[in-house]
Amino acid sequence: MTEIKVLQDILSANDRIADRNRRLLDEKGVFAVNLMASPGAGKTSLLLETIDRLKGKLGIAVIEADIASSLDADRIGSEGITTIQINTGGDCHVDANMLNNALESMALEGIDLLILENVGNLVCPAEFKLGVDRSVMISSVPEGDDKPYKYPLMFSIANAVLINKTDLVPYVEFDFRNFSRGVGVVNPKAALIQISCKTGEGIDDWVSWLLGEMGK
């Protein structure tokens, strides 16, 4: 049973650091969101749309996590937003310690909203508590309507599930009823919002939801 013991130790150490992140964010009055999705589901595009609508109204910062490259941080940074890049060095997720290192290196004063773009992965990021306020996931239409059934943990921990790329519905098979039934089984309380970062559909609904959760 050694392997299980090791895993438990790592996860409980992670949870202690997540609590530290929670306290730090509270102390600085920062509302933090962990944004998760498969590779290419539209995390960076959603960030750009969100920044576009909230810039000037809220202090926003972004943490970009990638296994390699700084392509996304470069895109966000060009919007004039405080952006920190985490390269996980091969790791398939952000853990509480990586987030803690990023938070410690940032000037959090004046930041109302901090969004962490996690590594593109529908599995591992869901396993690590980070100490954030909300977990949000994107599932995109071309990935198919069966994803809630096949990756239940991620769907079960998300406060909001965004269905992106609705503009592609005419060109692929996607049954919204099957998708939302799947989400309902594992997480009936999740907000379900249809969006298209390409056409702008639903982005206002998402931003309203986010502001509501922030108490704004």
Question: What CA–CA distance (Å, rounded) separates 68 from 65?
Answer: 9
Q: Site map for a second copy, 186-215, x if CB under 8 A?
A: ------------------------------
Taking the complex as a whole, how short is the minimal distance between the CB of residue 37 and a second copy, in angstroms?
A: 10
Tokens of 118: 């996690």
Helices vs. strands in the chain: H and E counts, helices first: 8, 7
Which residue in 98, 119, 132, 195 binds a second copy (CB under 8 A)?
119
- Within 5-24, which residues bind a second copy (CB under 8 A)? 6, 10
Among 23, 57, 150, 181, binds a second copy (CB under 8 A): 150
If binding means CB under 8 A, how many residues of this protein chain bind a second copy? 36
Q: How far is CA 115 from CA 48, 123, 162, in A?
A: 11, 19, 15
The count of residues in the chain is 216
Closest to 203 (Cα-Cα) out of 46, 79, 32, 55:
46
Where along the sequence are the contacts to a second copy (CB under 8 A)? Answer: 3, 6, 10, 38-40, 66-69, 71, 90, 92, 119-124, 127, 140, 142-144, 146-147, 149-153, 165, 167-168, 171-172
